[in-house]
Every structure is written in structure tokens, then in C-alpha cells.
Copies of this chain bind each other. A is one copy, B any other.
Amino acid sequence: MFDLFYQSRRIVLVRLLAVCLFVSVLSTVPLADARIRRYKWEVKYEYQSPDCYKKLVIAINGRTPGPSIIAQQNDTIIVELRNSLLTENVAIHWHGIRQKGTPWFDGTEGVTQCPILPGDTFTYQFVVDRPGTYLYHAHYGMQREAGLYGSIRVSLPDGESEPFSYDFDRSIILNDWYHKSAYEQATGLSSIPFVWVGEPQSLLIQGRGRFNCSSPSVEPSSCNATNPECSPYVLTVVPGKTYRLRISSLTALSALSFEIEGHNMTVVEADGHNVEPFVMKNLFIYSGETYSVLIEADQDPSRNYWASVAVVGRNRTTPNGLAIFNYYPNHPRRSPPTVPPPGPIWNDVTPRIAQSLSIKAREGYIHPHPLKPDRVIVFLNTQNKINGHIRWSVNNVSFEHPHTPYLIALKENLLHGIEQNPPPSGYDFVNYDIFSVAKNVNATTSNSIYRLQFNTTVDIILQNANTMTPNNSETHPWHLHGHNFWVLGYGTGKFDMYNDPKNYNLVNPIMKNTVPVHPYGWTALRFRTDNPGVWAFHCHIESHFYMGMGVVFEEGIEKVGQLPTSIMGCGETKGFQRP
């Protein structure tokens, strides 16, 4: 029924689109309850100084973060993306948008589309069918780290309201920031011996951070502490008012803790789903996650307060990122009289697991979920060496992109570049010791994918393990394209497939699109294969995915409509014409 509704609405939209083009309307056009929102973006290298240190960023219309997409549920977003990079292609993923009926516009290079060439204009068009806080970012090579990202805010249709109230709505994206280019980082990761770029130089709040320009070996000409581009982000509040703050993370590497000095935060939304409210002094957030918190401006209004973000999960060398929580009418640049909060102890996992467990669907907003899975897949996350390269693997398979994007290859039967043996659905549960360094001598790279039966229920168990360093296990935020999943549970140690499912939260599991798997822990998810297409599922740490930490799911490929030729042009689809 949804499909029928969707189809007829699409016809209307297409007609309206034609009208819009005719009258050259470039802003927004109302349509009953849904609108078309058009954006013209130019992607280009620019010199910017987000943390006072001048480096090349990939900007959209001169900005990083790029322009925000502000829309209402069921609006159609049209982004005309012009690639003005000199020699480099691009692709943009709409993170958290399910792309129902438009799997070809998911923006995942190598999975759903060919990259967009320099000089080309590519038009993304999709419906934002759920309210909530989402993101967009480059999904090609490691371009996201170069600053190509932004936020998507989808509000409810006029007349509908959230089950919580607030006076103002604000968005910030948290990020970590490197001074080396994404090229330099990627080259190091693929080198023998492996060269790691190290910890980030700074943390950014809404694209602003602060590097210490007087550090030794910083050329004075490339760092200017008084550059307005790196003045701290200011969130101005009116005393007594309540703020909805949408907080997202797009870090390349870091798990973060965010807090506002002296203010509690009530978590009400996670990845576009209403959360049974709970109060935190500091919010842990992983790359790819989005949250809404409510903050009351109920403290002494005669001063400003620090908003602070700190690295957790790694023995941090990156200084905390700071913004100013400015009580009107204090001067927005007036420094708070206090020492900024240091953030939590980096290696205490307990409160992080506790927060994960606290996130449950809000009463009245619980999406009914299937009680049993049709298929269970366990993904053992390991770090290992393959042909001398350090790689991340899932069940001993390290992902590599095929030359022809899967969606096109599978739909148009251009399969010969893709390995046909399915990757493993589990690992040696009995004998594998997740607490010690394993050799994983059988690890291989492969572009084979998981083909899932359409309209079935799949459970995924993400199982963490020791890395190649003794007594070390990292946090991995896994992001699923094209779906929301129910988060059934988290645990520590090796997942016990007989007993652990008994403790699943089947009462009010939250739906999310990104979820952490904690050190030496496991995370259990459930989703319905109800979205015809080909979808990436991967660790959202930029370098981890680059090093193979991901898989791809196909479901209902035969139900995918005719692919637009605009997504083609690479690999086997170069000059491709439908037979």
C-alpha cells in the first residue's frame, strides 16, 4: 500500500518538477503537504582554517560543513551537484535517508553509483520520508575527512508535533580534524610498512576548532590564531528557554563525549527515532550517529558556559574542542570564567555501555518488530595482515570495492568482476579467542556480498575482538545504508547464541542506522529486507572502511526499477546501453 501511495505521489512530483523547471523556480515550491527543495551545490577545493591551521578542504559552495538541508517529512530533495574538483571524482551519501524507491541515489561510490567526474553535474533526487536528524557526506575514497559533509534536518509536517517541546531548534556536527590530506592518510594506510597518520590535531564543533599555532614546527604563515574562521562556535540561548540541540558526529576516527558545563541534557531522539527520555551530564557519540537533546537555559544567566567535546576510547592526545554556550545578552565571545570540563576518563567503557543500554524507543513510538529472525549472521570484527598490508576484516574477509558498482552490476547482469562465492555468515565460535591477538592466517580480501532474501528478517551480531595489539579492542560504529534496524542488545565478551538472545530487548528496542560495538563486546541488530537495492553496512571510521571493514547486502534486486544512466560510466558500465 505504501508503494502504491508512493508511486502516485511520484507521478505528481514528476509533473510538478517539469512545471518547476519551466518557470525556473530554484527555491521551494509547496505541494499539498510535501515540497520540492532544490539545491545547487558546487564542490571545490579551497584553503580554509577550521582550527586556525590553513589547509585544503573540499567545500560545498565555499563552506565546510556544507549548507544544511532543512526539510519537512515527505519533501523531495533535489541536489544538483557540480564537481569542480580539478582531477578528482566525487559522490555524496545521504546518511540515514532510506532511499525507498531510489536506491541508485544512495551516493555510495562502488556500491550504488559510479563517481561523478570533474566538470559533471549529477542530480540526486530523493524523498525524506521520516522526520529526524540526518547527515550527508562524501562516500568516495576518504573525501569525507577533507570536510565534505553537512546536516539534514527533517521536521514533521505542518500541524504534527513531537512528543516533547522546546523553544528553539539548533544543529551541530562534531568532527575530528587532521592536517594531513586524505591522500596522505590513505597512501600511508596502503603502504608496506603501514604508516598511520596518528591522532587528529583537533576536534571541531560545527566546523570550528582550535589548534595551537605556537606549537613547534608549525610554519607561522599556515596558522593564525586570530583567524575568524576558527573562532569558537557560539550557541546563544535566552535564559529560561528550552533548546533542542541536534548533535551529530562525523569523526574520521574518534569516539566523543559532548557536554555543556553545568547543564544536563535530556536525550529525546537518536538517528531519527524518538527515545524514551533520559538525562545525561555528557553524551557519548560515535561517528555516524545523530541525537537530539533538550537543554534548559536554567543556569546563572550572568555568564557564558563551555560546551566541550573530548575523545574517549583512545588514550587521547587531541585537545578537547570548545564552543561557547552564550547566555543572552552576554557578549558571545566572552570566555566563561571557569576551566572547561575535562571530559570523562578515556578508558572507562562502563558509562558508554550504560548509555547504549539507556537508548530505548519512546512509549507510543515503538515500531513493531518481528519476533524471530529468518536468518542470523555473525560478523567477527578483526584486524589482520593480508599480503603484508594491515587490514580490517569481517569473518576473515576484508572488503574491497569492485570495479563496477554492485547495484548496476547485479541489476544489469555485469557480474564477472564480482566474486560469486558468498562471504561467511559466521566464524569459528567455539575455538576463536576474542581476547587474544589472533593470526587469522586465512584472511583474504574479497568483493563478494551477502544476498538476502527479500522481505525477511535478518539478525546481525557484531562481535568485537582483540586487534593486532595485545590487550586492545577498539570501538566500531557500524552504519547500515537503506534501513533502520532494531537494536536488540549489547553485551561484553563472546556472544552466546543460545543464552544472549534471551536477554534481547523485545519490549521497546530503539531503531537506529548507526550503532557502536564496544571493546571486546557484541551488539545485536534486527532489520527487515524490505528495501530493494544494494546496501553497504560498514564501520563508520573512515580509515577502517577504507581498510576493509564493511560488507554489502543485496535484497530484492529484481524489484529495483530502471536505473538512471547518470549513475553509470565506470567499469563495465562505461558506454553501457541497455540491451
Binding site for B on A (CB under 8 A): 45-47, 56, 86-90, 114-115, 117-120, 140-143, 181, 183-184, 186-188, 191, 195, 217-220, 401, 403, 565, 568-571, 574-577
Contacts and interface: CB of A to CB of B under 8 A. Distances in A.
Nearest to A84: B190
A215 to B, nearest CB: 11
A89 B142 CA distance: 15
- In this complex, the member of A46, A118, A218, A570 whose beta carbon has the largest number of chain B beta carbons within 10 angstroms is A118
Contacts of A86: 141-142, 183, 186
A294 to B, nearest CB: 40
A187 B47 contact: yes
What copy number does this chain have within its complex?
Answer: 2
Contact of A571 (B45, B46, B90, B119): B119
A570 B120 CA distance: 8
A47 B565 contact: no
17 contacts: A45-B186, A86-B141, A86-B142, A86-B183, A87-B88, A87-B115, A87-B141, A88-B89, A89-B89, A114-B117, A117-B570, A119-B570, A120-B403, A120-B570, A568-B574, A568-B575, A575-B576
Given A45-B187, A568-B574, A575-B577, 11 more contacts: A45-B183, A47-B195, A56-B184, A87-B140, A117-B570, A119-B571, A120-B403, A120-B570, A217-B219, A568-B575, A569-B574
A222 to B, nearest CB: 9
For the complex of A and B, the 5 pairs showing the least CB-CB separation, nearest first, are A87-B141, A86-B141, A45-B187, A217-B219, A119-B403
Contacts of A195: 47
Nearest to A195: B47
B141 A183 contact: no
A46 to B, nearest CB: 7
Contacts of A187: 45-47, 56
A186 B119 CA distance: 16
Contacts of A575: 565, 568-569, 575-577
Contacts of A56: 181, 183-184, 187
Nearest to A219: B217
A218 B142 CA distance: 26
A455 to B, nearest CB: 33
Contacts of A89: 87-89, 117-118
Nearest to A218: B217
Contacts of A191: 46-47
Nearest to A46: B187
Given A56-B183, A88-B88, A188 B570 contact: no
A347 to B, nearest CB: 27
Nearest to A402: B119
A117 B191 CA distance: 21
A298 to B, nearest CB: 46
Contacts of A47: 184, 187-188, 191, 195
A217 B115 CA distance: 38
